[in-house]
Amino acid sequence: MRGAAIRRTSRDIRSDSMVDVLHAVLSAGETTRNEIARKTGLSAATVVTVAGELIDRGIIVETKTTAGQVGRPTAMLAINVERGRVVGLDVAETYVRGVMFDTALNPLVQIERAHDENLQDPDSIVEAIGAVLDDLLVQQGVGRDSVLGVGISLPGLIQEPGGVAVVVPNWEWRSVELEHLRERVGFPLVIDNPLKAMVAAELWLGRGRSASSMATVNLGTGVGAGIVLQGQVLRGATNSAGEWGHSLLVLDGRLCRCGRRGCVEAYIGVPGIQETLRELAPDHPLADVGRQRDFIMELAAAASDEGGDGAARETVNRTAYFLGSALADLVAIVNPEVITLTGWTTWALGDLLVPSAGRRMREQSPGHAGTSLDLEVSAVRGNPVASGIAMIALERSLVDAGLLTSRIPVAL
């Protein structure tokens, strides 16, 4: 094999160690070389070598030296937050939300700009993205040369034989529009879809610290899952893995906004939860609340109240039943170690949903797959889509700097 071209090289192995060390430093905030070795399973010698290279390249720094237990001083390591900035942009059908982060993924400033969901013109959306990015730079007062990279999460991003494309009801962007986007941004750019961004955040900043297989489920208007198997984000043949929100819950059931019937999303997406309430109590005052976020907040308040609102409580119970049933399908197929919940329905209703949804999930999981399976509200707060896509951009900047070899499969 000596000298022959093979697809996985010793550079990849070195890169894997580097990712492990970065992961350990990033998740700990401040840590020591010994602690990194313990957490990653790498040898002490490897950690010393890798940390040395990351320090030489300005990626991590020694923050202070403390007296060790046996009197020998121990250096603390942390991410070098002075190295630059990274931007994560969460682009949805109705808004662009941008967050600027330091290199330890601490959010520094956030900007949101709404746009009309019937907007079909890619140029206007590209311009809205560009404007949010410009505003972030101005508000933080940072020069363009301190931005290491920009990540953009685009809904409906898929992989095609000819490259990537964005396909959502009102948008159909192919290479021309994506090239235009790249020019407008003018920074090293990665794009991916929100489920992949969200699970990248969980992988780097949340439960991925300790579980090698997991799913992160987003609950909002739409619902979906990001899946990590053996430490890698599952993408699938067309970057569409994790579209659990459009798997079947009820054969020939409710009409989903995707046009099919009985999808999970038609029951546990916010419009689905509202429909459940209407089925139970057509005249309930919450049945007509127009804004989805208001509906969810008010439902959470009404269901938490021990007093009178039986219909609100029953709506939450049925939603938990639907959620637990649908999660069990995810368990049956991929058998993860842990499932976390994220998204704004989770922030409002998670504590009410988790106990009974978790019970139903474990009961419905085949064999012993549910026995030691945890269902948890994600510890990653803020905007996990923006943090996740920024994390992917940061990873890409390390690849471009020659430190990592990980390929980011879907990116301009």
- Residue 392 has a CB neighbour count (10 Å cut-off) of 27
Residue whose CB is less far from a second copy, 22 or 42: 42
**Close Cβ partners of 2 (under 8 Å, ≥ 6 residues apart):** none
For residue 236, report the phi and psi dihedrals to the nearest 5 degrees: 85, 180
Query: From start to end of 327-402, where are the E strands?
Result: 338-342, 374-377
- Tell me which of 98, 242, 358, 384 binds a second copy, using CB under 8 A: 242
| Cα–Cα distance measured from residue 394 to residue 408, given in angstroms and rounded to the nearest whole number | 11
Check binding of 114 to a second copy (CB under 8 A): no
Task: Give 87's strand partners.
Answer: 100, 150
Tokens encoding 216: 């992160």
Residue 109, by phi and psi: left (phi above 0), alpha (psi -120 to 50) or beta? beta
For the CB of residue 396, give the shortest distance to a second copy in the complex, in Å: 20
Which window, 69-77, 115-123, 183-191, 367-375, contacts a second copy (CB under 8 A)?
Answer: 367-375
**Which of residues 111 and 410 has its CB atom nearest to a second copy in the complex?**
410
Q: Is 17 in the site for a second copy (CB under 8 A)?
A: yes
Is 59 a binding residue for a second copy by CB under 8 A? The answer is no
Residue 329 sits in the site that holds a second copy (CB under 8 A): yes
Q: Which is nearer to a second copy, 78 or 258 (CB)?
A: 258
Pattern 196-215, binding to a second copy, x per CB under 8 A?
-----------------x--
Q: How far apart are CA 224 and CA 206, in angstroms?
A: 18
For 207, how many CA atoms within 13 A lie in the half-sphere containing its CB? 26
H or E segment and range at residue 393 = helix 384-400
- How far apart, in whole angstroms, are the C-alpha atoms of residue 244 and residue 73? 50
Binding to a second copy, residues 255-294 (CB under 8 A): 258, 260
* x/- map, 82-101, a second copy, by CB under 8 A: --------------------
End-to-end Cα distance, the chain: 33
Piece in contact with a second copy (CB under 8 A), picked from 127-135, 174-182, 229-237, 391-399: 229-237
Q: How far is the CB of 248 from a second copy (least distance, A)?
A: 5
The residue (of 97 and 362) whose beta carbon lies closer to a second copy is: 362
Out of 75, 131, 158, 281, the only residue in the binding site for a second copy (CB under 8 A) is 158
Nearer to a second copy, 186 or 366 (CB): 366
b/e sequence 164-178, b meaning 16+ C-beta within 10 Å:
bbbeeeebebeeebb
Distance of closest approach, residue 408 Cβ to a second copy, in angstroms: 15
Binds a second copy by CB under 8 A, chosen from 138, 333, 379, 401? 333
- Is 176 a binder of a second copy (CB under 8 A)? no
